[in-house]
Amino acid sequence: MPAELRRLPADKPIADLLAALDEDGAVVIEGLLDAATLALLNAEVDPALAAADPGMKHLNPAVAFFFGERTRHVAGLASKSRTFATDVMCHPTLLALCDALLLPACAEYVLNLGHLIDRGPGADAQLLHRDELVWVHVPRPAPTLQVASMIALCEFTAENGATRLVPGSHRWPWDRQPEPEEIAQAEMAAGSAVVYLGSLIHGGGANRSAASWRRGLHLSYLVGWLRTEENNVLATPPRIARELPERAQRLLGYGVHDAIAKLGGYCGMVGLRDPIELLREGAL
């Protein structure tokens, strides 16, 4: 019997979602996005996705190998979809989970990455990995630094490569590898999401379907004092960011990380000012 993920409806109390995340390191949230939001988001990303080249140039061969040649990517989603920037990135359920999981280790968390991953027929399974290995210099054990999600923008099935996750692996020694029966697959309807901790082992599944592209949205958040995978301020420059709500601007990294109350300091100032104020004043 393969491992199973817990599945909870999006209107369950946050405490129930947190309990599942604490125990398993991952939880499927059914119906996270309603049908209208899902339709808008899909329509807004369609042009960028149509222009995406599965053979795109990556940073280096290792990144190219990790994603494979049959995957279309659209990163920097906040600059391409207002629905993403307002209703998805600022989704109250996701932010409530981040409040509980990330605020113990920071004054404010930010968007790490908003990245559409469209995996085509024939795409190989991704290497199983932990997202927090990006920040390899952080000594372990460490508090939770990153919270991630994969939001299904179409139905995720075992055949089309639903994300594979290893429940409980957030508590394992970092050198332990899973046995096949310890791996669960996040099959889910469009609009549902699997949320997982940055320390959990997971990876994209192989797409063995004949013609089904598996369109998923990787959305992750990071403690606000650590460098994000995507440079979100450059990806969503001031001309776009100034039209967004302040919460979205802060998530995109425009705000200072203010640890003064903890006898720390500020990160992210411009001319010793908070860039959020400069945006408001039209100075950025």
The CA distance from 276 to 117, in Å, is 30
> How far, CA to CA in Å, does 180 sit from each of 47, 164, 177?
38, 11, 10
Of the two residues 131 and 187, which places its CB atom closer to Fe ion in the complex? Answer: 131
Residue 217, H or E segment: strand 214-223
Of the two residues 108 and 131, which places its CB atom closer to Fe ion in the complex? Answer: 131
| Residue 65 bridge partners (DSSP) | none
Q: Which stretch binds Fe ion (CB under 5 A): 8-16, 62-70, 102-110, 130-138?
A: 130-138
How remote is the C-alpha of 221 from its chain's centroid?
6
Shortest approach of Fe ion to residue 32 CB, angstroms? Answer: 18
Q: Which stretch binds Fe ion (CB under 5 A): 66-74, 131-139, 242-250, 258-266?
A: 131-139
87: contact with Fe ion by CB under 5 A: no
Tell me whether the omega of the peptide bond preceding residue 92 falls within 30 degrees of 0, making it cis: no
Q: Which of 151, 162, 126, 165 is nearest to 217 (CA)?
A: 151
131: contact with Fe ion by CB under 5 A: yes
The CA distance from 136 to 138, in Å, is 6
Q: Which stretch binds Fe ion (CB under 5 A): 115-123, 126-134, 193-201, 221-229?
A: 126-134
Nearest 10 degrees: Cα torsion 179, 125, 22, 225: 130
Shortest approach of Fe ion to residue 47 CB, angstroms? Answer: 26
Q: In degrees, to the nearest 5, what angle opens at C-alpha 224 toward C-alphas 218 and 230?
A: 40
Of the two residues 28 and 279, which places its CB atom closer to Fe ion in the complex? Answer: 28
Q: How many residues bind Fe ion (CB under 5 A)?
A: 1
Of the two residues 204 and 275, which places its CB atom closer to Fe ion in the complex? Answer: 204
Q: Which stretch binds Fe ion (CB under 5 A): 59-67, 129-137, 206-214, 259-267?
A: 129-137
Of the two residues 77 and 241, which places its CB atom closer to Fe ion in the complex? Answer: 77
Which residues ranging from 148 to 187 are in contact with Fe ion (CB under 5 A)? none
Of the two residues 66 and 266, which places its CB atom closer to Fe ion in the complex? Answer: 66
Q: Which of 222, 263, 251, 276 is nearest to 101 (CA)?
A: 222
132: contact with Fe ion by CB under 5 A: no
Q: Which stretch binds Fe ion (CB under 5 A): 35-43, 128-136, 169-177, 276-284?
A: 128-136
Task: By CB under 5 A, name the binding residues for Fe ion.
Answer: 131
